[in-house]
Amino acid sequence: MPASRIPPDSERLVPPNFITEIIDEDLRSGRYETIVTRFPPEPNGFPHIGHAIASFIDFGIARDYRGRCHLRMDDTNPLTEEMRYVEAIRRDMAWLGWDWGEHFYFASDYFDRLYEMAEQLIKEGKAYVDSLSEEEIRAYRGTAHEPGRPSPYRDRPVEENLDLFRRMAAGEFEEGAHVLRAKIDMSAPNMKLRDPILYRILKAEHYRTGGRWKVYPMYDFAHPLSDYIEGVTHSLCSSEFIDNRAVYDWLVENLAGKCGLPEWPRPKQIEFGRRSLEYTVVSKRKLIQLVERGLVDGWDDPRLPTLAGLRRRGVRPQALVAFARKVGISRTDRTVDIALLEWAIRDDLNPIAPRVMAVTEPLRLVLTNYPEGKVEELEAPYFPPDVGKPGSRKVPFGRELWVERSDFALEPPKGWKRLAVGGHTRLRHAYVVRIDEAVTNDAGEVVELRGVYLPDTLGRNPEGVKVKGAVHWVAAARAVPAEFRLYDRLFKVPFPDASEGSFLDHYNPDSLRVLQGYVEPSVTADDPETRYQFERLGYFWRDPELGRGGKLVWGRIITLKDTWKKAGAQKQEAKREPRPAKKAGPQDKAAALAPEEREVFERCRHLGVGEAEALQIARDERLRSYLEDCSAYGPPALAAPWVVHVLGRAIRAGGAPVEPQALMALLAELEKGAFDRRVAKQALEEALASGGDPLERARARARDQLSAEALAALVREVLAAHPDEVAAYRAGKRGLMGFFVGQVMRASAGRADPKQVQSVLSQQLDRGSA
C-alpha cells in the first residue's frame, strides 16, 4: 500500500472539506504516515441511504489519500444482530463500489482483548463495578445544570472490583445486578464523562460467539478500542457522537501502550453533520415496523430508502455516489431535499437509458384508412440528439394501436396538445393522425378511438394542418403485455418523524400503483439489466424479483425530469379566489391561490422548494419561467431561494443579466465547497449591478480570502487575546465558538471564510485541551 499523500483537488472523490483540512495538516506535521479510516455499521438491519453517505465519506477519503478503509461490524449487542444483516451490509457496500480488501472485521473478534483492557482499567483504579440500579444510576448522574453524585460503590477496592467483574463474566449474576463503569468525573460539564458504563450483563446468545459471554461491552468502550486495535487514524462519525468523543479520548489516553496497544499512532475521532432526507425514515426500528406490518414488501421494497430497495428499484450505485458527493460534508446537520437525490438518479440514467415506448393505461386507436393485416417497420432512434449516442430499433406500426388513456380528452381544455376529436396529433416516430370518433360504453366511458393517418407525414408535417403535440403508442398486433409498477414517495409529508402523530399516520397508501399495459417488442431481446426511458413516462427496468420466469414486470425507477411547464394546462382556466383579509402564513396563502397557481405551488413543494419560495413562484410567471430554465442544469430546489430572494427583483423588472446556466454553475461550485454562501451572494449582486460571470467573480473573491497560514496565525492571535474565554471553552462552554468566530471575522476585515474560521478554531482549541 503506497504511503498517504495530500491529493490535488482535481483527484479527489470527496470534495475538500473541514475533515480533509485536518487530515492534510496531520500529514504535513507527520502525525500520521498512512490514513486509515473505518466504516462500522451495526448488523441489526439493512443498510440505507444514510449508510451510503457515511460510507462515501469513510471509503472515499481513504481512497483519496491512498490509505485504506476497514469494514467492521459493530456487533456488541446480541439482542438485535443477525448474520443475514452482516451479509446484507457486505453485499451493499460492495455494490457501492467500496473495496476493503482483507480488512473485514467484527467488534466481536476483540471480545477477549476488550475484556483484558477492562480488567486493566480496574487494576489501575480507573474502573469499578457499580451495583446501583439503572434508575439509580440515572438519578446519581445529575443534570446538565447540576453535578452528579458519586455512587456508594465507587470506591470499592481493586480486588473486590476484579472479583465481581470476573463473576459477572462467569454468569453468576442476573441482568441489571451490576455494571462496570469508568471512574472519570461525576461533576464534568460533559455528562458523558460522568462515569460512563463500560460493560453490562446480557445473558443472550451472540450470533457469532454463542453463549460464551455473559457480559458485553458498551459502544463507547468497544468502538474507540476497536479503532485502536486496527490502527485506525481518523474515526469519522456523525455529529450525534460529538459528546462521546471525550470518552473516546479518555480511553485512548489511559490505555495507550498497554494490553498490546501501541503508544502511537493513536486514533482521532472527528464528527461531521448528519444528513437526513425528506419523505423518508431511516430508523431501523421504524423500517422494521414497515416491514413487519406488511406496508412494504420486505427490506428490498423499491419504496424503501434501503440500499437493497434502491438497487431493486433500478437505481445504479453511480447515482448514489454522485448524490453523496453533491450533498457534501460540513459540521452542521442538514435535511437534504429529496429532489437532489431524484436529480442525481435522472442525471445518471439519462445518457445510458435507451428510449422505447410503452403504454401503461391502454386505449385502443383504430386507423380506419390503414390496410387491415399490414404491419410496417419504422426506424426509431434509441437516443435523442442531445445524448449523442448511436443506435436504433424497428418499431412495428399497424391499423390498431394502443395509446395512453390520459392522452385523450373528450372535452379538451384550453391549451390541450394531445389527442382530441377533430384534432391532428403526431404519433412519436410515426405519422400524424386525426381522431374522428370516440366510442363510449353505456357508462359514458371512452373505450375506443377511431381516426385516420396521413400517409405523407412520416418525418414531416402536413401542409396547412396544425399539429398539436406528439404522443407515444404501441402497435396492438405486436405489443407485448406487461405489468407496470409505479412508485411514489412512501410518506405524504416531508418530515414524517417530526410531524404530528405517529410516522405511520403519514404513510402514503398510493405509493404503489400497479397497471397492466403493453410495451414495444424490441425490449424482449435486450439484457434484463437494461434501464430504459419509456418515452414520456419515466425510467424503468425489469423488477429482478417479480420479473422471473419470463413475466414482464416493469418498475419505474424515477419519473422524467420535471419540465416545469405551466401547471394546470390540462384544466379550464379558473377565476382567482378572494384573498383573506388577515395576514396569513404560506399554507393559508396557498389555499387562496387560483387553481392553476395552487397546482404550481404543490408541484414546487413536491420538488423540494420551500413554502415561501413556492408561493412566490406560483404567483409570478416570470419567476416560474426562469426557474424552469434553471432546472435544465440542476435541481430546481437548489436554485429557488436564489431566484426568489437574490434575483427576484431583477427578474420581475424584465430580466436578470445572470443567465440560468451561469446561476446553476455558481451554485454547483458552492455545493462543492469552493466558497461560502456569503461569497456567492456577493458575486451575484455584483453581476446584477455590472454584469459579468458570477462564478468568476466568486472565484476571485475566494482567492482574495486569507490563506490557510494567515488564517491560522490570526486565530492564534485572537485566542491569545482572550485567555479567559479559551479556558471556559475548554472547560465545556462550547457556546463560545460563536464569540471566537465573530472576533476572527472582525480581525480579518471580512476576508476570512466563516466555515474555515470555525474549522481552524476547533483544531486549535481542541489541540490545546488535549
Q: Residues with catalytic annotation?
A: 42, 274, 284
C-alpha closest to that of 638 among 617, 668, 660, 594: 668
Contact by Cβ (8 Å): 123, 162: yes
CA atoms of 703 and 712, how far apart (whole Å): 17
Strand order in the sheet with 432-440: 467-471, 424-427, 432-440, 446-454, 362-367, 400-404, 473-475
CA atoms of 211 and 78, how far apart (whole Å): 10
CA atoms of 428 and 384, how far apart (whole Å): 12
Grid cell in block for residue 607 = 420538488
The pair phi, psi for residue 749, each rounded to 5°, is: 55, 35
Grid cell in block for residue 629 = 430554465
Provide, for the chain, the percentages of residues in helix, strand and coil under a 3-state DSSP scheme, each rounded to the nearest 5: 40, 20, 40
The distance in angstroms from the start CA to the end CA of the chain is 31
What is the radius of gyration, based on Cα positions, of the chain?
A: 31
Grid cell in block for residue 128 = 469499578
Q: Which residues, listed in sequence order, are joined to residue 96 by a DSSP beta bridge?
A: none
Q: Residue 552, CB half-sphere, CA atoms under 13 Å: how many? A: 22
Q: Is 549 left (phi over 0), alpha (psi -120 to 50) or beta?
A: left
DSSP run (H or E) holding 370: none
DSSP run (H or E) holding 48: none
Q: Within a 10 A sphere around the Cβ of 33, how many other Cβ atoms?
A: 12
Q: In which residue are the cell numbers 431511516 written?
A: 282
Amino acid identity of residue 310, one-letter, is L
C-alpha closest to that of 136 among 198, 179, 187: 179
CA atoms of 23 and 9, how far apart (whole Å): 14
Grid cell in block for residue 83 = 448474520
Let me know the angle formed at the C-alpha of 687 by 683 and 692, rounded to the nearest 5 degrees.
110
Helix runs in 507-620, H state only: 586-591, 595-606, 611-619
Name 231's Cβ contacts closer than 8 Å, sequence gap at least 6.
36, 265
